[in-house]
Amino acid sequence: MKAHEIMIREVYKVRETDSVRSVILQFIQHRISGMPIVNEKEEIVGYISDGDIMRYIGKHKDIVIDSIFYVNVIKGDDFNFEDRAKKILDQNVMLLAKKPIKVAWDEEVEDIAATLGKKQFKKLPVEKNGVLVGIISRGDVIRNTFRSLL
C-alpha cells in the first residue's frame, strides 16, 4: 500500500507569511492540532503543531535561550501567561515552525508507519514533485492496515 492510497487529500495548511493567530484560528475552526506550512509554490517549508505553541506560552523557569523568539519576544519569563499568549499571536508562523518531516506520494505505508512510530509524530505531510498533496495520520495507517484483517 502506498501513501497516495490512504492519505487525506484535503489538507488544512498555512502560508509561511501568515501569523500564529491564523494558525490558532484554523486549529479552533477545524478542530485540528497541527498543519503544514507552505510557500507560494505549495512546497512544504515547515510544520506547526499545538505542541509548538504550548512550548512558547508555558512558564519558562530555568530555560536555555535557544531561539530568537525567546530573546526578542518572550525575554525569559518577564510576562505572565496571558501576556505571553497575546504576544505570540501576531508573530510569523515560521518563528515557531519545525523543519518538516514529509513523505513521498509513492512511499510504502510500512515505511510511513515506522516514521510515525519512531519519530512520535501524529501526522506527516505528503508531497509529490515537491508540492503538498495530502497528509497521513497514525489513524489513517491503522484504519487502512487493519480494516481487511479484522
Comparison of pLDDT for 99 and 20, the residue scoring more: 20
Residue 28 has φ and ψ, to the nearest 5°, of -70, -50
The number of residues in the chain equals 150
Query: pLDDT tens-digit profile of 31-55?
Result: 999 999 999 999 999 999 988 888 8
pLDDT of residue 68: 46
pLDDT of residue 97: 81
Q: Specify the long-range contacts of residues 20-29, CB closer than 8 Å, at least 24 apart.
A: 20/53, 20/88, 20/89, 20/90, 20/91, 20/92, 20/93, 20/95, 20/96, 21/89, 21/90, 22/93, 23/48, 23/53, 23/93, 24/53, 24/89
What are the cell numbers at 52? Answer: 509548538
Q: Which residue has the higher pLDDT, 11 or 72?
A: 11
How much is the CA Rg of the chain, to the nearest whole Å?
17
Side by side, which strands form the sheet with 44-49? 14-15, 34-38, 44-49
Identify the pLDDT of residue 60: 59
* C-alpha separations of 123 from 30, 36, 81, 92 in Å: 15, 10, 28, 22
Neighbours of 44 (CB within 10 A): 22
Q: Please state which of the ranges 4-8, 93-97, 134-138 shows the lowest mean pLDDT.
A: 93-97
Fold of 3-146: CBS-domain (3.10.580)
**What pLDDT was estimated at residue 86?**
84
> Which is more confident, 138 or 97?
138
> Chain-wide mean pLDDT for the chain?
85
pLDDT in tens, 70-127: 444 555 445 677 777 888 898 899 888 888 899 999 999 999 999 998 877 889 999 9
Q: What is the pLDDT of residue 102?
A: 93
